Amino acid sequence: MGIVLGIESSCDETAAALVTTDRRIIAQRIASQDEVHAPYGGVVPEIAARAHANRVTPLVAEVMAEAGMELTALDAIAATAGPGLIGGVMVGLVSAKALAMASNVPLIAINHLEGHALSPRLADPALTFPYALLLVSGGHCQILQVDGVGQYRRFATTIDDALGEAFDKTAKILRLGYPGGPAVEKLALAGDASAVPLPRPLVGSGEPHFSFAGLKSAVMRAKDSGLYRNEDIAASFQQAAIDCVLDRLNVSLGDGGGLPALVVAGGVAANQAIRAALENFAQARTMRFVAPPLALCTDNAAMIAWAGAERLASGQNDPLDFAARPRWPLDQDAEPVRGAGAKA
């Protein structure tokens, strides 16, 4: 059994966690930056990097103290090395390098997306490779086949906004504050999902990718019209988003393509309505549906430590000059798609 320290700092959560190779989370801390970014309605990269710099060392000290462990007892130190807001990524990665050097423990550089992609295996030992993965967060929206650690085949990505971004923008339009996803979900519970006519971009199209920009514009027009209640806009938006996700999954996976499980990961995987729709989709294809516990969906360090544990098992460690990567696709062979910008 090995013990891995994980450090996460790619967006607006600073986090540290200790996870064992036999799937035990020994200690974990997450410091959210929601309050510092809330006045701006979104994450401000420079402010995020400073907040990470202030918080990462105390958080690591706290998890080590809770576990009653010295750094030298660790088997590896895993840190997010990209993709993400580069200032924050560098803070976490440089801290991990310093700790690794001082304690003579191997460093493992983790792709944040792989953290999300493997997180369901931390909670569910029965989840074996391969599986179909819907990875939906604030910055990413992809359908992948996961064949093993480091082995990904991308079926679909977004040509404009990510799904979490669409939730956040809808929340901004409805003045629900930041982060928007949970607020939209809550408001939608009180609304009528058929009250507001909204488009389902690309639904019915044979191409596999996602698009949410048109949906966001329609939400804005609905709000500006003054005709609809916020609850109904939220519920109608969420239903439109779900319809898009199911249609896109159907294009990529069809009858399941022989994959035994459909897995959802990333911050948007916390959404109960989306989980329920995915569960139905999987059941209809005799696929098992796997969703990590809510605390493992949004950004956290346990998933980074776990990805480190998976890589440790395959004998990987990385040099101390490993450079932070602002872009780092899981499937390096996937073609960039039109309009995808930094989100491919």
Cross-strand pairs, 13: 32
- Which of 83, 201, 267, 308 forms a contact with ligand KG4 (CB under 6 A)? 267
For the bound state, the minimum distance from the C-beta of residue 219 to Zn ion, rounded and expressed in Å, comes to 23
Q: Which is nearer to ligand KG4, 4 or 268 (CB)?
A: 268
Q: Pick what 146 binds: Zn ion, ligand KG4, none; C-beta below 5 to 8 Å, kind-dependent.
A: none
- Which of 14, 211, 271, 317 forms a contact with ligand KG4 (CB under 6 A)? 271
- Site stretch for ligand KG4 (CB under 6 A), options 60-68, 100-108, 164-172, 217-225: 164-172
Site string for ligand KG4, 273-302 (x = CB under 6 A): -------------------------xx---
Tell me how far apart the alpha carbons of residues 111 and 114 are, in angstroms, rounded to a whole number. 5
Q: Which of 15, 24, 130 is nearest to 78 (CA)?
A: 15
Residue 70 CB neighbours (<10 A):
9
Tell me how far apart the alpha carbons of residues 195 and 28 are, in angstroms, rounded to a whole number. 42
Which residue type sits at 217?
Answer: S
Tell me how far apart the alpha carbons of residues 217 and 209 are, in angstroms, rounded to a whole number. 19
- Which of 21, 137, 236, 252 forms a contact with ligand KG4 (CB under 6 A)? 137
For the bound state, the minimum distance from the C-beta of residue 81 to Zn ion, rounded and expressed in Å, comes to 14
Cross-strand pairs, 289: 262
Q: Which is nearer to Zn ion, 137 or 239 (CB)?
A: 137
- Site stretch for ligand KG4 (CB under 6 A), options 74-82, 103-111, 162-170, 319-327: 162-170
- Which of 185, 232, 310, 318 forms a contact with ligand KG4 (CB under 6 A)? 185
Cross-strand pairs, 126: none
| Paired tokens of 148 | 């093993």
Q: Is 208 in contact with 155 (CB distance < 8 Å)?
A: yes
Binding to ligand KG4, residues 46-105 (CB under 6 A): none
DSSP label at residue 175: T
Q: Pick what 164 binds: ligand KG4, Zn ion, none; C-beta below 5 to 8 Å, kind-dependent.
A: ligand KG4
For the bound state, the minimum distance from the C-beta of residue 110 to ligand KG4, rounded and expressed in Å, comes to 13
323, burial (CB in 10 Å: exposed 0-12, middle 13-18, buried 19+): exposed
Binding site for Zn ion (CB under 5 A): 137, 299
Q: Is 88 in contact with 52 (CB distance < 8 Å)?
A: yes
Catalog residues that contact ligand KG4 under the rule CB under 6 A: 11, 137-139, 164-165, 167-168, 179-182, 185, 266-268, 270-271, 298-299
